[in-house]
Amino acid sequence: GAGVSQSPSNKVTEKGKDVELRCDPISGHTALYWYRQSLGQGLEFLIYFQGNSAPDKSGLPSDRFSAERTGGSVSTLTIQRTQQEDSAVYLCASSRTRPGDEAFFGQGTRLTVV
């Protein structure tokens, strides 16, 4: 596609339910990032994929969070047993991997846990 696509754009879920967030990166971009952003705050790094592997998972806040990427393309971020503090905008970005390659962001998924 023309840009990074994330779905759903908005998700309201009940506390304790599992949610899956999807990111479809720009074709040919081998690097994929997930970030979390609370209102008015900076970007909290979650996980980085290079191809299908995740060399840096250091940002995942708990074992309720997991992510996978298949075929070097689509990635899903799964949050199990959601808590209210998981409410945030989840941003996905993709890029090539040379020093000068900018990251392209999706519009984000706004997750609200009630």
Interface region with other proteins, contact rule CB under 8 A, candidates 10-18, 37-45, 64-72, 74-82: 37-45
Instruction: Name which position in 18, 20, 56, 68 contacts other proteins (CB under 8 A).
Output: 56
Q: Which of 2, 5, 9, 97 is nearest to 53 (CA)?
A: 97
Written as one letter, the residue type at 77 is: L
Question: 96: part of which helix (H) or strand (E)?
Answer: none
Q: What is the DSSP string of 34-49?
A: EEEE-TT---EEEEEE
Q: Which is nearer to other proteins, 74 or 103 (CB)?
A: 103
Task: Report CA 34 to chain centroid distance, whole Å.
Answer: 3
Residue 6 is a binding residue for other proteins (CB under 8 A): no
Which residues here bind other proteins, judged by CB under 8 A? 31, 33, 35, 40-43, 45, 48, 50, 55-56, 89, 91, 93, 95, 97-105, 107-108
